[in-house]
Structure 1
Amino acid sequence: MSEMGELDVISHLSVSEQRKAHFAFIGPHHIESIYLVGDPTTLPTLDTLQQLTSGIDLGSIATLHGGYYGEEFARLALQPALASQLVSISSIQDKLALLRAGRVNVILEDLSVLRYWQQHQFADAARFQPLLKVYESPVYFGFSKTSLSASQLRMLADSWQRLYQQGELVPIYQKYQIDELKKLQPTPLL
């Protein structure tokens, strides 16, 4: 869709070589921290991701269809012991519903989403906890290089830089409990 100019902006985009060809990255605006999330009272303890390929079976692990969970996870997911545990789901809401219903034991989810569920007292949210960090990465606004000109992209990057330097973004970061401001220093990739 982005190649044909049908998609102008994506709000939560992590950088990859493939995506760089189609998107300019403005931000970052968030540090995505992906965890295995589940009920720790019913699951074995994990110390490393590699354990999922050598003996620890969590049952069904819901992933977001098309989600990116880092190089290590992608490599390990090719191994039969982990691949057999993975279930691809089409939305975050469906992942949560399946977890709450006991249809999956674990989901891969951003820590900020889990905190949102808990803060807004979604049913059973307090029962689910982060079990193991899988991946951490800055996420950006992705603007289509097909839809927008180089000068428009430069203007957006400069505007984001100005907002950051003037401190306009700090109250937003604080509201959403983002405390790693150094990691959010603007680094546009045009």
Structure 2
Amino acid sequence: MQAQHFPPRFIKAADNSWTGYNIELFQALAKELGCSSQFLETPWGRSMQLLASGELDAMSNVSYNEQRAQFAYFIGPHQQERVKLVTNLQPAPSKASLTDLMNSQHLIAAMQGIYYGADFEQALETQPAFRQRLIFVTLNQQKLALFLSGRVQYMLEDQINLQQLYLSDTLDQQQHPALFTLYENPVFFAFSKQRFNHLGQKTLEDAWQQLLAKGIQQELQQKYFAATPTGEN
């Protein structure tokens, strides 16, 4: 499965071993399937290409859409994703929506290959000036560096990642508030059809249901996700 260092979902230790919610949940799912687990550290956009070609078995935190369903089975969902718009502008805008973002002149950092919802995709297609203000990066560390340096004034960040950035004092809730939720949807494990056609989706779904029945997902959620403020105005 694809992995990148995103605590608490993916935690890479100094010895290159992996822990975290997504890691341990996938390991449990693989065990139900009678498979071993191995983690490949690759950028998100490249990983999606590898999943489609069958060079990668699985990804996690994948939003469903019809294009991806052509090459992947979706198992779960394993979490609810909420993408926040975060700013470093001071004072922060008192009014914020996708329309306001489209009409501003500021730069926005986002992850390449991430699906931010139908409204956002439509804005990219129909508003060339808006697209030109999007800075797409392949690694979250690049996005954060752009934001902290002030080279971009907004960034799109998942709520759970944002909570960890506040808890670690990498970001300050007052100086870097979340303005609004851009997109919210369930996310899944995506298994490559090139690799798992011999099992079929039902086998994968049965393994997922067995994992749920054992309470493994609930245990891992309690272990990794404490209730913390989002910093949203």
Cα distance in 2 for partners of 1:152, 1:19 equals: 16
* CA spacing shift, 1:121–1:176, aligned 2, 3 Å: same
Q: Equivalent of 1:114, from 153, 162, 170?
A: 162
> Residue in 1 aligned with 2:115?
68
Q: Which protein, 1 or 2, shows the higher relative CO under an 8 Å CA cutoff with sep ≥ 6? A: 1
Q: How many residues align?
A: 176
> Residue in 1 aligned with 2:12?
none
Matched, 1:162 2:210: yes
Deviations 1:1-33 (A, max 9, x none): 334321111122110101101101111111110
Aligned alpha-carbon RMSD (Å):
2.1
> Residue in 2 aligned with 1:91?
139
Q: Equivalent of 2:193, from 113, 134, 145?
A: 145
The runs of 5 or more residues in structure 2 that have no matched partner are: 1-49, 228-233
* CA spacing shift, 1:45–1:86, aligned 2, 3 Å: farther
Greater shift, 29-38 or 144-153, is seen at 144-153
Greater shift, 138-147 or 82-91, is seen at 82-91
TM-score, normalised with respect to structure 2:
0.68
> Residue in 2 aligned with 1:187?
none
* Secondary structure, counterpart of 1:88 in structure 2: strand
Aligned-pair identity (%): 35
> Residue in 1 aligned with 2:72?
23
1:40 Cα shift? 5.6
> Residue in 2 aligned with 1:34?
83
Alignment of 1:3-22 (within 5 A): 3-22=52-71
* Secondary structure, counterpart of 2:157 in structure 1: strand
Cα distance in 1 for partners of 2:146, 2:96 equals: 25
Amino acid at match of 1:33: R
Cα distance in 1 for partners of 2:64, 2:226 equals: 20
Amino acid at match of 1:143: F
The runs of 5 or more residues in structure 1 that have no matched partner are: 180-190
- Report if aligned partners of 2:108, 2:153 keep a CA contact under 8 Å in 1: yes
- Report if aligned partners of 1:50, 1:76 keep a CA contact under 8 Å in 2: no
